[in-house]
Structure 1
Amino acid sequence: MKRIFFLALTLAFISCKDDKKAEETTAEKTETIAPISDATAENAVIYEANIRQYSPEGTFNAFTKDIPELKKLGVKVIWLMPIYPISMKNRKATGDLSVEDIKDPKKKAKYLGSAYAISDYTAINPDYGTKEDFRNLVKTAHENGMYVILDWVANHTGWDHKWITEHPEYYHKNAKGEVTDPLNPETGKSWGWTDVAHLNYASKELHEAMKNEMLYWVKNENIDGFRCDVADNVPAEFWQKTIPELKKVKPVFMLMESNKNYLLKDGLFDMGYGWEAHHVMNDINKGTKTVKDLDNVIAKIGKEYEKNDFFMNFTSNHDENSWNGTEYERMGDGVEAFTALTYLLPGMPLIYTGQEYDLNRRLKFFEKDSIPKAKTKMFSIYEKLGALKNSNIALNGGKNAASYKRLATSADTNILAFERGKENEKVFFIGNLSKKDQEFTAPVEGTYTNYMTGEKVTLAKDQKFNFKPWQYYILVK
């Protein structure tokens, strides 16, 4: 009898091994995309997906079916805003009110809270679908030549996270020993993020626990990297320990919500936020800054950062849209010209959910909303810019970026002209970044195609240009 039992057990073990081999073989056969690499970032467009607001359904499945549409825009990296369950305790209803301040059950139910108040790092928000739905999203993205990175919030958790009761030592506490929301270290006062509890990396056990939560997604769900929220509020020591461990599993792309140069060193983060250029673009439209200030930002990057450091260029993102206004509020009639700049300057351009559909209102942050889906003006503009970014090495913008050469014009306060070049390819940008007509000369000669219109343009030496407000050329051979 014992022999029969042992034989059955042995056969079962062999069968399990065979099944495992079959699964591994299937996984190898079905993988449709090469690992992410530095080369990927050179000509990539990144798309920030707000799953809740992308569709009336607000689900993974509704987003997944549109992934081929994103491919038309040249998107190579999809950044998913947090996809995890959201804490109920202290859940935000508005910037000032918690759901606990609202008595009417119907009103209370409509407030879904901030996606950045996470109750479980390795689970899926059921409002968005199931883990199988998420896996299908990743698989579909890979089949369409796109990588998927997850938004990661290492600085704080929601108040329902199990660590608050199981590991209170992971959190900052006040003089009474109570866990606190993030406080301004200079004043000791709250930043207003009352729906989250502030993690304290003085606990070395927290380093290990958080690293393991990140590893889960790389090992088990085949994701391709992370966008790390308020990355410089987390000690560099954590990233120095964790990022190499992630990269041992597979190559990952790391985007930080920061522009601190120390986090770009030694193979840590691959890309930072181009905050300074973004703010200058807003201010140029306001009339408080000029092209000279943008020149200064580019010069500063050249001095303070290493040659292979690069940034994400954007006219909007979830924070800008909801809290500071749409690009149309901040950039006025300059939106198209500034959008073109995010593709032409060194770096990687970002499209935020709805920008491709001319979204011209602020999306709600704590409750359900939805973007328009009509293709009017901007979809075709993003499509053209994406095709140029993907295909012309003169716009490479990553660790091995094409050169950037500022061209002096006769009106440099308002006119931005520059040349991008790599190997035998060149692309020129000439733009009037002002609200007034500009007459000027620029040192560009020869016959080119005005890329956005398809028209031939022949330029002579010392030729005078007459540009209307926000008019721009992208010139290619």
Structure 2
Amino acid sequence: MKKYSIYFLTLVLAGIYACTPAEGSKEEEKAKATKEEVTFPELAGNMTIYEVNIRQFTPEGTFKAFNEHLPRLKELGTEILWLMPIQPIGEKNRKGSLGSYYSIKDYKAVNPEFGTLEDFKTTVDKAHELGMYVILDWVPNHTAWDHPWIKGHPEYYAKDSLGNITYEADWTDIALLDHSNAETRKEMIDAMKFWIDETDIDGFRCDHAGHEIPLYFWEEATATLDSIKDLFWLAEWDEPRMHMELDVTYNWSILHATESVAKGEHSADELYESIEKDLAHYGHSPFRLLMTTNHDENAWAGTVFERYGEGHKAFAVFTFTVYGIPMIYSGQEVGLDKRLAFFEKDSISWNDENGLTDFYKKLVKLRKDNAALWSGHYGGMPEKINSNNENILVYSRKKDNNQVLVILNLSNKPQKIELSPELSGEYENYMTNEQIDLTSLKSLKPYEYIVIVK
């Protein structure tokens, strides 16, 4: 038997050698190019994230209806589609008539209100055909009360002092999981793997990523899942340690700082101090998610018009240019002017009465085309420039031969400005296509914004 084994091995090796491409062949060059292919997070360095609320996106609230919007989102320039949870929603202790996306009844199934698993696969495939990536909102912190684990594996859950499965705050529709249990982590990672294997998604937006969830869960998850496919990881958490395993963290501090400036509680100078503190705390390399709205802000805190008033465009320019990675929420690009119901059907109107689509399209392209504005160390550090006015924020970002200068009046009143003589000269305001002479620039209108690309 040993003799035949050696003979067989010789034949196999000969076959492998015969099939090996010659040095300098197209096959070898292709293989080399594949090895050097850009991966996440660098791949997302110049991209914009778009959050998709399937329930409210269309009157039908289905994947099939959403697919009709994919070419429009491609034209908008957004490249990463974050879909809010698509799994079946728990019925026990449900809030409202439709319940919360974040009360998961079955991790490996699709909410029948949205369609079927095949429908979702089609959505992912169509997005991929358009050159876009799909990340799925993942809820590892808790399940619905009628999830099979409640009865089948109560040991997966956190317990109160009396030994009863517990929940968090006033979220009475969810049961809190215990990730100190290795089996809980194993089953959770297996469920995540299901969506990569079955639907070819490109990553996860990790809900409540650091609350009651130990970092070693994410160590185990990324080690297992990144070996299957290059994935993009967005953490809903504002803490540096998350970057040990995940790509992006929420920048809640800057979001709330911009809201304070819009209310007149803080100045633009104080906003920049928040930026400096954030960079000192996190460093330049991590990707920080910047936004003026998302599903939580819109539903519970108010629309961008309620929170930023006439300044909503100026603060959007800020989030797209200062640093980090920006995102757009469903309907934001057409001026969503209502708080979408969280537990009921409440469709978005796609009538762009304020002409905001072109505004956001321009911002997305600005970032895409200018390396100075890319995320993390792939872009340039923001450098503050003195404006001699605490309400006007002026900063520059440089990367190699690319430079972007941003001038923002973050107040609802006209403001005087005095720029350094070194900024003199005539340029085009990227956002308006108008010529502007910085030498003679002495004042800005309320919430006026100027972006100059050098």
TM-score by length of 1: 0.85
Distance 2:381 2:273 in 1: 17
CA shift, 1:133, in A, is 1.0
- Corresponding residue of 2:100: 114
CA shift, 1:113, in A, is 0.2
- Corresponding residue of 1:220: 198
SS in 1 for 2:51: strand
1:36 and 1:147 in contact (8 A); partners too: no
- Corresponding residue of 1:302: 279
Change (3 A) 1:163 1:439: same
Distance 1:408 1:442 in 2: 7
Distance 1:395 1:132 in 2: 38
State the Cα deviation string for residues 332-385 of structure 1 (Å, max 9, x = none). Answer: 111000011111111111110111111111000001010111123211111111
1:141 alignment partner AA: A
- Corresponding residue of 1:344: 321
My pick for the range that moved more, 364-373 or 291-300, is 291-300
Gaps of 5+ in 2: 1-36
- Number of aligned pairs? 414
SS in 1 for 2:94: coil
- Corresponding residue of 1:453: 432
- Corresponding residue of 2:147: 161
From 195, 198, 206, the counterpart of 2:184:
206
- Corresponding residue of 1:251: 230
Gaps of 5+ in 1: 1-33, 94-110, 183-190
1:416 alignment partner AA: L
1:417 and 1:442 in contact (8 A); partners too: no
1:44 and 1:75 in contact (8 A); partners too: yes
1:280 alignment partner AA: A
- Corresponding residue of 1:11: none
SS in 1 for 2:227: helix
1:127 alignment partner AA: E
CA shift, 1:445, in A, is 2.1
- Corresponding residue of 1:55: 58
State the Cα deviation string for residues 224-278 of structure 1 (Å, max 9, x = none). Answer: 000011101111111111112111001100000011001112xx11011111111
- Corresponding residue of 1:26: none
CA shift, 1:464, in A, is 4.1
For 1:53-452, what aligned pairs fall within 5 Å after superposition?
53-93=56-96, 111-182=97-168, 191-233=169-211, 234-265=213-244, 268-376=245-353, 377-411=355-389, 413-443=390-420, 444-452=423-431
Distance 1:70 1:35 in 2: 23
- Corresponding residue of 2:41: 38
- Corresponding residue of 2:7: none
Distance 1:399 1:171 in 2: 40
1:450 and 1:474 in contact (8 A); partners too: yes
Distance 1:35 1:373 in 2: 35
1:72 alignment partner AA: E
Distance 1:440 1:62 in 2: 49
2:284 and 2:376 in contact (8 A); partners too: no
Distance 1:397 1:73 in 2: 19
Sequence identity percentage: 43
2:269 and 2:392 in contact (8 A); partners too: no
Distance 1:398 1:131 in 2: 35
Runs of 4+ in 1 over 6 A off after TM superposition: none
Change (3 A) 1:245 1:352: same
1:86 and 1:119 in contact (8 A); partners too: yes
Distance 2:167 2:406 in 1: 46
SS in 2 for 1:63: helix
Change (3 A) 1:305 1:284: same
CA shift, 1:181, in A, is 1.2
SS in 1 for 2:417: strand
My pick for the range that moved more, 349-358 or 396-405, is 396-405
Distance 1:402 1:90 in 2: 49
SS in 2 for 1:248: coil
CA shift, 1:159, in A, is 0.7
2:451 aligned with 1:474: yes
2:371 and 2:378 in contact (8 A); partners too: no
Distance 1:240 1:399 in 2: 23
Cα RMSD for the two superposed structures: 1.3
2:437 alignment partner AA: T
